[in-house]
Structure 1
Amino acid sequence: MNRFKASKFRHTEARLPRREAWISGIRAGSVPSCGNHVKASCRWIAFNAEAAGVLGIVPLECEDGGKRTISQLCCHSDVVTDFDFSPFDQLLLATGSADETVKVWRLPEGGQDIPGGAGLTLGPGEAPVDALQFHPTADAVLATSAGKRVTVWDLGQQQPLTVLDSHGDQLQSLTWKRDGHLLGTSCKDKKLRIFDPRAGPAASQSVLGHDNNKDSRLLWMGSSDCLISVGFSQMREREVKLWDTRKLSGAMFTMALDTSPG
């Protein structure tokens, strides 16, 4: 008798939408950064454009079956390194930049002009902003990384709630756990760190992540205590590691993906 139940999704396959539903004519940028290059809410899709400091903005749904209009949001005076939509407000977009500022934008409902200025600007700081992410369960709370420091902001009060600065080198990524209790970071010093920002600014756990200090990214596995890291081995092979953050002493699982050309 088979121990495992057959998945009800075993015969599913991806289907491309009709061609009239495609979004074409996009001139996306290829600026290297640690953050996102495309992000979507229930209303808008944002992506890096060719010009530095500019995001392309496309409505997720077109009105009356018409063609989608691609607009430009002139955000910063330098490269947009990362951006994120608020999980509490699908029109609220935060952007970070190499110009050392973070800006918060309110996009229109639809059929209105793209805003010419940010609703809120934080900074400039002392280093380019590398990554940012809204808190998943607390409204108007935003984590940003710049240099060796993560700042958790209260956007309503426009001031930091806490600063996490126990990193040994430049930050590469940050990610909130889905319940918002923990924050994970990866750093150029090759370490992964776990923070409970409510308990204090020091990392509660840290461990050597990947043997190579090239860019790495972190992702929580749903609501579990498991964390996925994507980085590079000492031989420059791209690899994925799975961690149990309840005891962050070593990776539970490591898988090589490919060999990087450089």
Structure 2
Amino acid sequence: MRGVCYRSSKFRHVYGKPASKEKCYDCVPITCSVHDNHFCAVNPHFIAVVTECAGGGAFLVIPIHQTGKLDPHYPRVCGHRGNVLDIKWSPFDDFVIASCSEDATVKIWDIPKHLLTRNITSARKELLGHARRVGLIEWHPTASNIIFSTAGAKHAGK
């Protein structure tokens, strides 16, 4: 055939293999309430995972190299009165994370540089102003300490 060009992939003979159990995260309770967003966020030091929590919303912050089975009583970051819907690490500080929730708030959290030994319940900053659940947050990529948040609009009608 004239004019037909086939390009072979340089990845044709690359095969993956599953990681061993010691290099995986096991028994991490993942939330069922995050529908439109991601349930986790990762930076060079930590993996954060939104989880279920009685009486409010919470998420786990696990050091990236702490793999294996997670203790069921592992400390959480908890301080929202509703389910956590989104979490994002600051692009300027690997020890600062933001969360938003069904309770119409955005919270900024300081994460200690060492292993979490107890629940973190007080945020560095609580941002108020939304009338409905806050479903999405995003840090400004080039300006420090600026965060975008969006909430559901009120529906007109009966």
**TM-score using structure 2 length:** 0.79
Gaps of 5+ in 2: none
CA contact (8 A) 1:58 1:68 kept: no
Q: Name the stretch that deviates more: 128-137 or 90-99.
A: 128-137
Map of 2:103 onto structure 1 = 99
Map of 2:44 onto structure 1 = 42
C-alpha distance in 2, partners of 1:48/1:112?
Answer: 16
Map of 1:12 onto structure 2 = 14
C-alpha distance in 2, partners of 1:14/1:95?
Answer: 34
C-alpha distance in 2, partners of 1:15/1:133?
Answer: 34
AA in 1 matched with 2:43: S
Map of 2:121 onto structure 1 = 116
Give the superposition deviation at 1:101.
0.6
Give the superposition deviation at 1:67.
6.8
| 1:105-141 residue CA offsets vs partner (Å, 9 max, x unmatched) | 1111123545331111100421110111112232222
C-alpha distance in 1, partners of 2:30/2:82?
Answer: 16
For the residue of structure 2 that corresponds to 1:75, the secondary structure is: strand
C-alpha distance in 2, partners of 1:132/1:95?
Answer: 7
Query: Per residue, is there more strand in 1 or in 2?
Result: 1
CA contact (8 A) 2:78 2:120 kept: no
Map of 2:148 onto structure 1 = 143
Alignment of 1:217-236 (within 5 A): none
Matched, 1:81 2:78: no
CA contact (8 A) 1:58 1:71 kept: no
CA contact (8 A) 1:103 1:121 kept: yes
For the residue of structure 2 that corresponds to 1:20, the secondary structure is: helix
| 1:182-235 residue CA offsets vs partner (Å, 9 max, x unmatched) | xxxxxxxxxxxxxxxxxxxxxxxxxxxxxxxxxxxxxxxxxxxxxxxxxxxxxx
C-alpha distance in 1, partners of 2:21/2:52?
Answer: 25
AA in 2 matched with 1:11: H
AA in 2 matched with 1:54: A
**TM-score using structure 1 length:** 0.50
Map of 1:56 onto structure 2 = 60
Gaps of 5+ in 1: 149-168, 171-262
Give the superposition deviation at 1:87.
1.9
Residues 144, 6 of structure 1: CA spacing in aligned structure 2 closer, same or farther, 3 A cutoff? same
Alignment of 1:151-170 (within 5 A): none
Give the superposition deviation at 1:16.
1.9
CA contact (8 A) 2:27 2:70 kept: no
